[in-house]
Structure 1
Amino acid sequence: MKKLSLFLFLFSGIIVQAQSILSPSKNISLEFKLSNEGKPTYKVVYKTKEVIKESTLGITLKDNQALENGFSVLKQETKAVNEPWNPVLGEQATIQNKYNQVTYYLSQKATNRKINIIFKVYDEGVAFRYEFPKQESLNYFIISDEKTEFNLVENHKAFWIPGDYDSQEYAYNETKISEIDNSKLDLNNGIGVKSIASQSRVQSPLMMKSPNGIYINIFEAAVVNYPIMHLDVDTKNYSLKSNLVPNAIGDKAYLQTPCVSPWRTIMVSNDARDIVGSKMILNLNEPSKIEDTSWIKPMKYVGVWWEMHVGKATWDYAGSQNAQNAADGQLKPSGKHGATTANTKRYIDFAAKHGFDGVLVEGWNVGWEDWFGNWKENVFDFVTPYPDFNLKEVNDYAKSKGIKMIMHHETSGSVANYERHLDRAFELMQQFGYPAVKSGYVGRIIPRGEFHDGQTMVNHFNFVAQRAADYKLMVNSHESSRPTGYNRTYPNYIAAEAARGNEFNAWSVGNPPMHETILPFTRLLGGPMDYTPGIFEIKMSYYDATKKEQVHTTLAKQLALYVTMYSPLQMAADLPENYERHPDAFQFIKDVAVNWDNSIYLEAEPGEYLTVARKTKGKDEWFIGAITDEKARKTEVKLYFLTKGKKYKATIYEDGKDADWEKNPKSYAIKTIQVTSNSKIKLNLANGGGTAISFTLVD
């Protein structure tokens, strides 16, 4: 690395003039200094334009003097890093981890305490964290607040959801920073548990666009043994301050030196594709702690799930609470239970016939009758099936068909109960050959008073992935804290929900068409999402004529989501019979890959559109997904990424000429053309629509 230019002026051991470190491309500059009071500050400049004004750093401690001023610099260390690595599963075969780093070793004179601030400057942004070295003057300590600031330069357009400590399952708002106001939201949105404590608190990642076209994203990476960071917004001064989710008694984090905070990240570019395609969050996490990863495999699955959301079946066996309290104390079947042996075999047959890897079954185990909303601790034991679900019979049948079963563990938010049963539950999975578990955390958390996003729950979600690795099991968590790249460290943490998924379209106001164009710029930066796409029967009136709910996309867009919403665990979420009525469109879901050698973001604009091309792992085969918001869109994509000199068959699944997400969502057309790397394809996306394309080599 080129030697850094340092401008130092020492006065009583305090640096009062800024020091700069550049990104490898030199487009981004990070400036650090201590104020006259010894307070750490930083700012970020992108191509000569300031994007983060001078902002303070610091930590306040419970019952101790704050670590926010009175510092001097003992020393600093710089280094340049370029270390490519290969993810177990991912959007590309090799990820470049290239950055310039500087560490400032600070000492607080009044307390003799030490704290280090580490900055990494990438071509797509800046990351920094607090490091607490082992020291006599600081051993066990409690963080009461984090004083990290992100002072913005202008009144940016922002894509935000409220700072809810218990849920991220919101549709995004698109407003100016100055217009952020949780009190103006319609919270009749299908979310069962809400914990919004501030009018101007939002969640990270916060995606923004400046008036002059610079894209900025504030997020965090490697949240381990620490609470999730939300952001308090000063709507008048366009300033953001960290807000750490508290525990039941108001403390933020219990730590012991040596330890570190998560990375605070600022992505910046004048090209939205640099943000959505960034791997900075993954790069900031530790390498895999699992030596043998051969058992971690991508999966495409179907399951007993959507039929409950559309009201065709139920999770519970007995129906209402009264139905189970018969004179003999036994559960009495309601006749609507979805997770029966016979119904599961039907899904297994469907999966085997169409080349899927697995089948998920929700509602297989006793306990669903009366827990929801009751804050009940001992709901599930995770090993006892309902009378109409025979574990061994189902497992033997799936094995005979070459299908893997995916376990479902709904914890009911009772985390203490789940941890008591965790090993027995995983042993049962091993016994019956289940490779993966979908966990759920619906409801208020037990231990009571804890939030989904607090340190206790972050540790729980990470622990489950670690313990699952001991059993060689993969984890897909729902209603968890949003991921921050931990799937690099534990790649068996194969997916998570942690955002407003497709299910909300079945029974609530749903997800507006722009929703899926924002998630890749926010939630998906932290890791794969189990969004459950592929709904073909889009209007819920099909199941009940009185229902007005619907999926807010076209059918073609549901296909495109398999490419734009990355996950190595993808569900064909609709009912088998709905796919059987559209075998030609269903072919794309059968064909599309879920693990990739390369991903190229061809077009991107948050809240408006996204076009992605991906190459199948180990094959000369490509797929394109293109989606738009409420507005119809015409565009043209160049196929330069295809292998030169070779011919491909392009199968194009597109919106019909009269398609419209609201008026005619099921209108689609399929055509096949021959293309090369010199070809271009014109795309016509309907309102709320999309296009999906598969490219296969011509013999």
Structure 2
Amino acid sequence: MKLRNFVVLMLFSSIGEFAFAQGFVQTQASPSGKIVLHFQLSAQGIPSYRIDFLGKPIIAPSKLGLFLESGQLNQGFKLIQNSSTTFDESWQPVWGEVASIRNHYNELKVKLENTTGQVEITFRVFDDGIGFRYGLLGKAGQTGELSVMEEQSEFAMTGDHTAWWQPGDWDSNEHTYTTSPISKIDGRVYLKETSISTQFIPDYRACQTPIAMRTTTGVHLAIHEAALVNFPAMQLNVNPATRTFTAFLVPGAALWRKAIVPVGFQTPWRVVLISPDAPGLLASKLILNLNEPCKIADVSWIKPTKYVGIWWEMHLGKSTWDYGGTQTGQSAQGSTGHGRHGATTANTQKYIDFAAEHGFNGVLVEGWNTGWEDWFGKWKEDVFDFQTPYPDYDLKGLAKYSLERGAPIIVHHETSGSATGYEKHIDKAFDLMQSLDLHAIKSGYVGRIIPKGEWHDGQWMINHYNRVLEKAAAKKIMVDAHEPVRPTGLHRTYPNFLASEATRGNEFNAWSVGNPPEHETILPFTRGLGGPIDYTPGVFNIKFSEYKPSPNEYQVHTTLAKQLALYVTLYSPLQMAADLPEHYQKHLDAFQFIKDVAVDWDDTRILAAAIGDFIVTARKAKGSPNWFLGAITDELARAQSVKLSFLPAGKTFVATIYEDAPDAHWKNNPTAYRIRKVEVNSTSVLTLKLAAGGGAAVSLLPKE
């Protein structure tokens, strides 16, 4: 159900030469007036904007425009038309952090024309930021396609803010984050990165979005995009002297041409989030609101999922993805393999039984299909057909067994970067899943992209990711995408897009320098702004030295208690209990929190946060009185006092607190934890002591 209020406030059309000669200025305030957008068209016909927040400039004058192959759309404009409207609705997401979302903004549209053609710039001004996009209208009567060469949208900062950023990599978003002033953004700090299989950073003065910032007065900003469809991903080039970011579109195989779009095309939204504090960034639903409503009529089959799977054991080296000793699927059928294959029938049954016993409703199986011996490090199109299982994997029998046990298999589709190869087989692969009554995939894009010359974040691949979502929706299949572009809120339009990786996930701790303790305190304010993260938390065997040749060289850079807290602080309707079943058997008391915690929510409260330092989040389970709370910190130990005023007044709850032991430490003593229970109500205050790299998880259940 949606509640709408759409009112035309003013309309000015056919603006004459006098207005153009003098320049043109139009303001548009947000509904409460907190944010004011100023659009200006100079006497030279150059469009720009600036933003005020609480009466003070927060974005300095910034130019607008694009470059087409047919000419420039950034100067020499005349104003043809402008209009202002207001819009107010409430809508209910299929799943999410809250049960209802308000979409309330004031909109300004300006239509401009120069010798190249017409462009319509639309601004939507919310109380927590703005979005703007370009409508490429072409010349009068023009049809066909337009070639976009580059975008000029600027974001001029009013100071040398502290920024949390990743480099402008066209092929990977799996880097750690750097904290620095804007003027010190320099991708050369990533020259020593060796753990990412595919990366390309051509400009050290560029960064990816989302990027988060904090001013000296504590105002927080983030720049990203929304509704990325049929267009390249936007990166930002940085001018350190002026602290100005300028949009840069990731190219395709033709490096000089960034996109080909039809006349009338609307670009993705360019987004600036603005908040007086860090929690406000996480509470914003602006990016979701800039996406189109749900396009799937029947959403009954879309289910938030808590899952286990055959995955982490391969990263540890206990087993392998490949069957072994073969080069093709055909020869695999006559081979006995090397004996270390992970996705066997017996091993899969073990995971299905474990999931069923503990109430999980999904089992991921990686390495089930032929082709793994012949893909890594190779740039070839035909590696996997996504239909042929290894000889030791009973695909049909296991699918049936998983459904009987209430823990359906999540089918792994690793493309090896060959998007054309995937599209060749995807219809038959999805038909196979339908015949098995399986409704979820985890896709992967490890490796250099095919078609050759394309990048993970260029227009061709953006369209590929979206084609997969649309095909999956038609076949009633949910998608968890790994190694894709950063999400931009498309899960509103396609709620079968449950989650994606698109970041440096937990697996990097298994075989690289790992993720620093601050990593998870930055992710929600950067990558997490665009959509849910399949981060794969829940590792209990933190050191895993029994699986590695060099003890203590690798480990997860958190405490066990922090791994529990991540189920609350890192939002996703798709959450994995990533560790091996035998490791959970040793800590069943702590494992209880993973069993209890929800994955779909009616309410979310960001109780305290400082980017890169700590986060405290509380969430109310969907259709339930139960609340869950997570608190995490960086490499510094700290105490957090948490007011429970979000609980209903007059009700008593039992708080089960899973916390770091007094001597816990992410490196020296990561598995030391304790569990305590206390009765609380809405006036109670919990004091949570977080170890270095630690955290605390709390379940709050009504007292019976």
What TM-score, normalized to structure 2? 0.96
Counterpart of 1:510, as a letter, is G
Instruction: Find the counterpart in structure 2 of residue 531 from structure 1.
Output: 535
For residue 557 of structure 1, give the secondary structure of its aligned residue in structure 2: helix
Counterpart of 1:380, as a letter, is F
Instruction: Find the counterpart in structure 1 of residue 379 from structure 2.
Output: 375
Are positions 1:679 and 2:687 aligned together? no
For residue 224 of structure 2, give the secondary structure of its aligned residue in structure 1: strand
Instruction: Find the counterpart in structure 2 of residue 154 from structure 1.
Output: 159
Q: Deviations over 1:415-461 (max 9, x none)?
A: 00100101100011111121100000000000001000001111111
For residue 694 of structure 1, give the secondary structure of its aligned residue in structure 2: strand
Q: Which moved more, 1:225-234 or 1:132-141?
A: 132-141
Matches within 5 A, 1:313-328: 313-318=319-324
Instruction: Find the counterpart in structure 1 of residue 232 from structure 2.
Output: 227
Q: Tell whether the 8 Å contact from 2:11 to 2:84 is kept in structure 1 after alignment.
A: no
Distance in 1 (CA, whole Å) between partners of 2:234 and 2:334 is 46
Q: Tell whether the 8 Å contact from 1:207 to 1:218 is kept in structure 2 after alignment.
A: yes
Distance in 1 (CA, whole Å) between partners of 2:149 and 2:514 is 37
Instruction: Find the counterpart in structure 1 of residue 195 from structure 2.
Output: 190
Q: Tell whether the 8 Å contact from 1:324 to 1:330 is kept in structure 2 after alignment.
A: no
The change in CA–CA distance for 1:329 and 1:463 in structure 2 (over 3 A counts) is closer
Distance in 2 (CA, whole Å) between partners of 1:186 and 1:433 is 46
Matches within 5 A, 1:295-374: 295-318=301-324, 330-374=334-378
Distance in 2 (CA, whole Å) between partners of 1:15 and 1:318 is 74
Q: Tell whether the 8 Å contact from 2:20 to 2:45 is kept in structure 1 after alignment.
A: no
Distance in 1 (CA, whole Å) between partners of 2:137 and 2:342 is 54
Are positions 1:290 and 2:276 aligned together? no
Instruction: Find the counterpart in structure 1 of residue 32 from structure 2.
Output: 25
Matches within 5 A, 1:19-58: 19-58=26-65
Q: Tell whether the 8 Å contact from 1:9 to 1:16 is kept in structure 2 after alignment.
A: no
Q: Which moved more, 1:390-399 or 1:228-237?
A: 390-399
Distance in 2 (CA, whole Å) between partners of 1:649 and 1:10 is 71
Are positions 1:61 and 2:68 aligned together? yes
Matches within 5 A, 1:124-523: 124-133=128-137, 135-137=140-142, 139-250=144-255, 251-318=257-324, 330-523=334-527
Q: Tell whether the 8 Å contact from 1:14 to 1:34 is kept in structure 2 after alignment.
A: no
Displacement of 1:11: 3.0
Q: What is the percent sequence identity of the aligned residues?
A: 52
Given candidates 557, 561, 585, the residue that maps to 2:562 is 557
Are positions 1:603 and 2:624 aligned together? no
The change in CA–CA distance for 1:36 and 1:404 in structure 2 (over 3 A counts) is same
Distance in 2 (CA, whole Å) between partners of 1:320 and 1:160 is 43
Unaligned runs of 5+ in 2: 1-6
RMSD of aligned C-alpha atoms?
1.9
The change in CA–CA distance for 1:468 and 1:324 in structure 2 (over 3 A counts) is closer
Displacement of 1:402: 2.0
Count how many residue pairs are aligned between Structure 1 and Structure 2: 693
Counterpart of 1:148, as a letter, is S
Distance in 1 (CA, whole Å) between partners of 2:326 and 2:182 is 46
Counterpart of 1:82, as a letter, is D
Distance in 2 (CA, whole Å) between partners of 1:15 and 1:260 is 29
Q: Deviations over 1:152-173 (max 9, x none)?
A: 1111111011110110001100
For residue 401 of structure 2, give the secondary structure of its aligned residue in structure 1: helix
Counterpart of 1:86, as a letter, is Q
Are positions 1:627 and 2:632 aligned together? yes
Distance in 2 (CA, whole Å) between partners of 1:252 and 1:282 is 25
Displacement of 1:138: 5.9
Q: Tell whether the 8 Å contact from 1:4 to 1:20 is kept in structure 2 after alignment.
A: no
Given candidates 53, 60, 79, the residue that maps to 1:73 is 79
For residue 604 of structure 2, give the secondary structure of its aligned residue in structure 1: strand
Distance in 2 (CA, whole Å) between partners of 1:472 and 1:258 is 31
Distance in 2 (CA, whole Å) between partners of 1:11 and 1:628 is 59
Displacement of 1:385: 0.3
For residue 466 of structure 1, give the secondary structure of its aligned residue in structure 2: helix
Instruction: Find the counterpart in structure 2 of residue 89 from structure 1.
Output: 95
Instruction: Find the counterpart in structure 2 of residue 688 from structure 1.
Output: 693
Q: Which moved more, 1:387-396 or 1:478-487?
A: 387-396
Distance in 2 (CA, whole Å) between partners of 1:501 and 1:495 is 13
Counterpart of 1:489, as a letter, is T
The change in CA–CA distance for 1:4 and 1:519 in structure 2 (over 3 A counts) is farther
For residue 642 of structure 1, give the secondary structure of its aligned residue in structure 2: coil
Distance in 1 (CA, whole Å) between partners of 2:67 and 2:193 is 37
Q: Tell whether the 8 Å contact from 2:655 to 2:680 is kept in structure 1 after alignment.
A: yes
Counterpart of 2:637, as a letter, is A
Given candidates 647, 655, 660, the residue that maps to 1:650 is 655
Displacement of 1:189: 4.2
Displacement of 1:330: 4.5
The change in CA–CA distance for 1:655 and 1:141 in structure 2 (over 3 A counts) is same
Displacement of 1:18: 2.5
Q: Tell whether the 8 Å contact from 1:15 to 1:72 is kept in structure 2 after alignment.
A: no
Distance in 1 (CA, whole Å) between partners of 2:83 and 2:73 is 21
Displacement of 1:501: 0.4
Distance in 2 (CA, whole Å) between partners of 1:15 and 1:204 is 36
Instruction: Find the counterpart in structure 2 of residue 613 from structure 1.
Output: 618
For residue 641 of structure 1, give the secondary structure of its aligned residue in structure 2: coil
Q: Deviations over 1:216-272 (max 9, x none)?
A: 111110010000000001112111100100010111111112210000011112211
Displacement of 1:133: 3.3
Distance in 2 (CA, whole Å) between partners of 1:675 and 1:541 is 40
Unaligned runs of 5+ in 1: none
Q: Tell whether the 8 Å contact from 1:505 to 1:511 is kept in structure 2 after alignment.
A: yes
Counterpart of 2:562, as a letter, is K
For residue 425 of structure 1, give the secondary structure of its aligned residue in structure 2: helix
Counterpart of 1:641, as a letter, is F
Distance in 2 (CA, whole Å) between partners of 1:137 and 1:391 is 53
Q: Tell whether the 8 Å contact from 2:111 to 2:121 is kept in structure 1 after alignment.
A: yes
The change in CA–CA distance for 1:629 and 1:667 in structure 2 (over 3 A counts) is same
Distance in 1 (CA, whole Å) between partners of 2:25 and 2:111 is 15
For residue 150 of structure 1, give the secondary structure of its aligned residue in structure 2: strand
Counterpart of 1:28, as a letter, is I
The change in CA–CA distance for 1:336 and 1:85 in structure 2 (over 3 A counts) is same
Distance in 1 (CA, whole Å) between partners of 2:659 and 2:595 is 17
Distance in 2 (CA, whole Å) between partners of 1:181 and 1:5 is 45
The change in CA–CA distance for 1:329 and 1:114 in structure 2 (over 3 A counts) is same
Distance in 1 (CA, whole Å) between partners of 2:183 and 2:109 is 34
Distance in 2 (CA, whole Å) between partners of 1:574 and 1:73 is 60
Displacement of 1:137: 3.9
For residue 369 of structure 1, give the secondary structure of its aligned residue in structure 2: helix
Matches within 5 A, 1:575-586: 575-586=580-591
